[in-house]
A and B are shown apart, each in its own frame.
Chain A
Amino acid sequence: MIPITIEGLHKKFGEVTALAGITLRIEKGELFFLLGPSGCGKTTLLRHIAGFYMPDSGKILFGDDDVTLVPPHKRNTGMMFQSYALWPHMTVAKNVAFGLEERRMPAAEVKKQVAAALESVQMESYADRKIAQLSGGQQQRVALARALVIRPRCLLLDEPLSNLDAKLRLEMRNEIRRVCKDSGLTAIYVTHDQKEALSISDRMAILDGGRIAQVGTPEQVYRRPLSPVVADFIGETNFIQGKVRSREGAAGFVETESGVFEGVFADPNWKPEPGEAAVLSVRPESWILAGSRAASNSIDGEILDSIYLGELAQYRFRAGAIELKIVEMNPHLSARARGHRLFASANRDDVVVLKP
């Protein structure tokens, strides 16, 4: 169990900047997610940690051990590839044994450890199968066993669930969290699926254009995004343009076309002057619909249309020039017909003021 430290990592491919100064610390035993839209640099960063890329500048430390220039085969990381990268010319057991054999472990011991590793992913009865004879989910388990059996210093997962169907994906993501927590390994998990990240990560970093946009726990990132990019990428949100009127500590007032809103400033480093442009981010489920105006943060408008999903309903709501997405749990559909005039309001705590 080691922490992983990344200091000022830069990487260019030709003219394209892939990483523009990444600094990050991943605590020991943490299940840490790298998240972002495609092309944001998350896979590039993971491949730097695995050693398949050398940075142009910057450092990578495993504990106190500087591994920046160490080739991949000497880093002792266990990686799970998006395509699993199981070798088709070897059996399941041979695949899992490979890393141990590379470490010159006695054959009897290899056998014991392979059996144990396969058992831990419930694949013990498939040891002699060829890879082509396994289903996607089974291959995924073998890939996990192969990465874990070498007792790596950290586990690297590159979109490990993207080739599975939706149902299996749900099952396997809990399985991965269980295995990580059982082994106590520091794990770095790359994905573009925010649901995966929100549901099982300890902390996550959202990357954008080769930079880190935000690091935090799922709740921090979801409730207090530091920028419109993060707010937009994680979950759904409504943006309302405005101007800062005043600010007191973490809270403040923003003037918009639809009235004055009171919200919280997520980024403590941003200290806007009154009159400076700002953007509000309000999650669809934060809006409360009511027949009368609330005390604050309230706008009136009409329902444009609705989609009923049983436990919740989604509405399009027009208030003046802006259009909002609103989600209501346990919906009262009879009072939400198209053209119905209503008031939508949000708690101060659910209104995030961001630098545009």
Chain B
Amino acid sequence: MSNQFAKVVFALTAVFFTLFFLWPIAETVRGAFVGADGRFTLDYIAEVFRNPLYLEGLWNSFRIGVFSTLLACLIAMPLAWMSDRFVFPGKTLLGALVLVPMIMPPFVGAIGVKQILGQQGALNALLADLGLLNPQAPIDWLGEGRIWGVVALIALNLYPILYLNVLAALANVDPAMEEAAENLGCTGFRKFRKITLPLIMPGVFAGGTIVFIWSFTELGVPLMFDFTRVASVQIFHGIKDIGGNPFPFALVVVMLAATVLLYAVSKLTLGRSSHAMMAKATSQGGPRDPGLAVRWFCSLTFSAVTLLAVLPHLGVVLVAFSSEWYQTILPSGWTLSHFEAALGHNLTLPSIQNSLKYAGLATLLDVVLGVAIAYVVVRTGLAGRQILDALAMMPLAVPGLVLAFGYLAMTQEGKFFEFLNPAVDPLVILVIAYSVRRLPYVVRSAAAGFQQTSVTLEEAAQNLGCPPLRTLRKITIPLIAANLLAGGLLAFSFAMLEVSDSLILAQKQQDFPITKAIYELYQLLGEGRFVASALGVWAMAFLAITILGASLILGKKLGAIFRA
């Protein structure tokens, strides 16, 4: 019975992944390698590497990826280390607050950053006020240094992913390992470098890989900074003539190859070096009191990082409330009218509705698929269940941009999936796009739930006359509800904030989700950026309420959400 169920789940999942994961990738790869005459060709790929414009775009994407990852590491590792080792004032609250950036889309923050760092922005105004700058010759902070603006914004948004991974890895290190090093005379930074760092390396790379793939293919932030010489933006602009232009295909394939290669290399070289702890921790490590000075230093560092990370979003909030903000430190006039305008605009209300609809349905699909896959992987002895597990994790290695492009390519006129063409109605393809990318999180959190829940609890129910599927509903699901809620919430938030799928696949105004509406509003002259900011604030408030509500339901387990 349960074996039959396992086979059905396996088959359905395999079909789903073939249609909506492998197919779009295959369609893209085909576009890159098949010429107009229907023959195999390497010309397009070669052209990507010959054309200086494309080369520069790839090089910039690569630099954004590398520097964002490094910067995120630099921010996250000290924070994680402090949190693991020390007690300090406000630790619980500060530990939760450093995660806040993750629930806000960075490209919305870009509006705020431009307001602050633009030529007529707040920073120049401040410097001018202090007499350090001639207002007639403002510094263009985002001019040539635009790439650093992109890097900083992405890193400040993604460091929580690394923070959580490193923190989890540190918690797993048996304190006796470090005590042994100290016993042999190795202390301080040397001990960290020779003992601790190698032990937490798998965690660092697990987080680092996700951050790199994310920033390497980030579309929203460079787009908002008008930074066009980035591969992701070039692809986005190439979509307008997707029917006749093979180069976006080639560019996508190059990026896909790069990420998959990186993912495979990091899995092979670093996944292997994950050192199993030989024994259970023998001594109680736990954070200790480092003394007054260090204690406050930790609190200050956490506060400073959080403040820095939400600065762009504070900028957005200020923009949303301002009637005029030009060459001044703070807005020179205040108004609430943008919020009304945002709700009254014919773009906004439908976009909120659309986002709720897309993200809600995608989350539902994720939870159903995630529970089924996790059940088969953890609970059944089905041959090939590891394949299923690996299949469900693959979307982590494939950038959203690549998949979004693939979905668009496979639903063009004359293709098999023409009936799902997003230009007609993007509902189905957007829901699928949203859910495929977030499936790994839900599968992981559901699998963790199954692993933590003893199988005898299910057997006891069956023994008392409860059939397997009802057991799942009456016993297992309630027991892993916290995990499912956490995974589902994460999937929902990320879907609400989704950028690449939304920008690429939603093509008609009445189908726009929030992110695309913000982007379009921002392009409007005049009131545009104010109304876009107001909509951004509505979105942030909405997500904050969602998270808050979940934290009330989950109680103290809120932290577990982001550890899924």
Contact = CB atoms under 8 A, between A and B. Distances in A.
B466 A81 contact: no
A73 B467 contact: yes
Q: Which 5 A-B pairs have the closest CB atoms?
A: A99-B464, A85-B460, A85-B456, A102-B465, A72-B462
Given A83-B454, A85-B456, A88-B479, A71 B467 contact: yes
B136 interface: no
Given A81-B456, A88-B479, A89-B479, A50 B464 contact: no
A52 B463 CA distance: 9
Given A71-B1, A87-B475, A89-B479, A150 B457 contact: no
Nearest to B454: A83
A78 B463 contact: yes
Interface string B445-460: 0000000001011011
B454 A103 contact: no
A114 interface: no
B468 A87 contact: no
Contacts of B460: 79, 81, 85-87, 146
A78 B459 CA distance: 11
Given A87-B479, A88-B479, A73 B462 contact: yes
A98 B461 contact: yes
Could you say which of A74, A78, A99 has the most chain B C-beta atoms within 10 Å of its C-beta? A99
Interface of B: 1, 454, 456-457, 459-468, 471, 475, 478-479
Given A87-B475, A87-B479, A89-B479, A146 B456 contact: no
Could you say which of B456, B457, B463 has the most chain A C-beta atoms within 10 Å of its C-beta? B463
A73 B454 contact: no
A50 B460 CA distance: 10
Could you say which of A76, A98, A150 has the most chain B C-beta atoms within 10 Å of its C-beta? A98
Given A81-B456, A85-B457, A87-B479, A146 B464 contact: yes
Contacts of A75: 463
A77 interface: yes
Given A83-B454, A85-B454, A85-B456, A73 B463 contact: yes
A98 B466 contact: yes
A150 B461 CA distance: 12
25 contacts: A50-B459, A52-B462, A71-B462, A72-B463, A73-B463, A73-B464, A73-B471, A74-B465, A75-B463, A78-B464, A79-B460, A79-B463, A82-B456, A85-B454, A85-B459, A85-B460, A86-B460, A87-B461, A88-B479, A89-B479, A98-B466, A99-B464, A99-B465, A102-B466, A103-B465
Contacts of B463: 50, 72-73, 75, 77-79, 147, 156
Contacts of A76: 465
Interface in A75-131: 75-79, 81-83, 85-89, 98-99, 102-103
Nearest to B474: A98
Given A87-B475, A87-B479, A150 B464 contact: yes
A73 B479 contact: no
Contacts of A79: 459-460, 463
A150 B464 CA distance: 7
Nearest to A14: B381
A88 B461 CA distance: 13
Nearest to B465: A102
A82 B52 CA distance: 69
A81 B459 contact: yes
Nearest to B478: A89
Nearest to A143: B460
Contacts of B471: 73
Contacts of B462: 51-52, 71-73
Contacts of B468: 71, 73
Given A87-B475, A98-B466, A150-B465, A72 B459 contact: yes
A71 B461 CA distance: 12
B106 to A, nearest CB: 39
B439 to A, nearest CB: 26
A51 B465 CA distance: 12
Nearest to B459: A52
Given A75-B463, A85-B456, 13 more contacts: A51-B462, A72-B462, A73-B465, A73-B466, A73-B468, A74-B465, A83-B456, A85-B459, A87-B475, A99-B464, A102-B465, A103-B465, A150-B464
Could you say which of A76, A89, A146 has the most chain B C-beta atoms within 10 Å of its C-beta? A89
A73 B464 CA distance: 6
B463 to A, nearest CB: 4
Contacts of B456: 81-83, 85
A141 to B, nearest CB: 15
Nearest to B466: A102
A8 to B, nearest CB: 24
Could you say which of B457, B464, B468, B471 has the most chain A C-beta atoms within 10 Å of its C-beta? B464
A88 B471 CA distance: 15
Contacts of B467: 71, 73
Contacts of B1: 71
Could you say which of A51, A72, A82, A146 has the most chain B C-beta atoms within 10 Å of its C-beta? A72
A85 B455 CA distance: 9
Given A52-B459, A83-B454, A85-B459, A102 B464 contact: yes
A102 B463 CA distance: 11
A148 to B, nearest CB: 11
Contacts of A98: 461, 464, 466
B286 to A, nearest CB: 24
Interface string A55-72: 000000000000000011
Contacts of A147: 463-464
A78 B462 CA distance: 10
A20 B462 CA distance: 27
Contacts of A89: 478-479
Contacts of A146: 460, 464
B465 A87 contact: no
Contacts of A77: 463
Contacts of B466: 73, 98, 102
Contacts of B475: 87
Contacts of A88: 479
Nearest to A149: B464
Contacts of A50: 459, 463
A200 B475 CA distance: 34
Nearest to A103: B465
B481 to A, nearest CB: 8
Nearest to A71: B1
Contacts of B464: 73, 78, 98-99, 102, 146-147, 150
Contacts of B461: 73, 87, 98
Nearest to B453: A88
A23 to B, nearest CB: 24
A77 B462 CA distance: 10
Nearest to A99: B464
B453 to A, nearest CB: 9
A146 B471 CA distance: 16
Could you say which of B456, B460, B462, B468 has the most chain A C-beta atoms within 10 Å of its C-beta? B460
A34 to B, nearest CB: 17
A84 B241 CA distance: 65
A102 B468 CA distance: 12
A85 B458 CA distance: 8
Could you say which of B457, B468, B471 has the most chain A C-beta atoms within 10 Å of its C-beta? B457
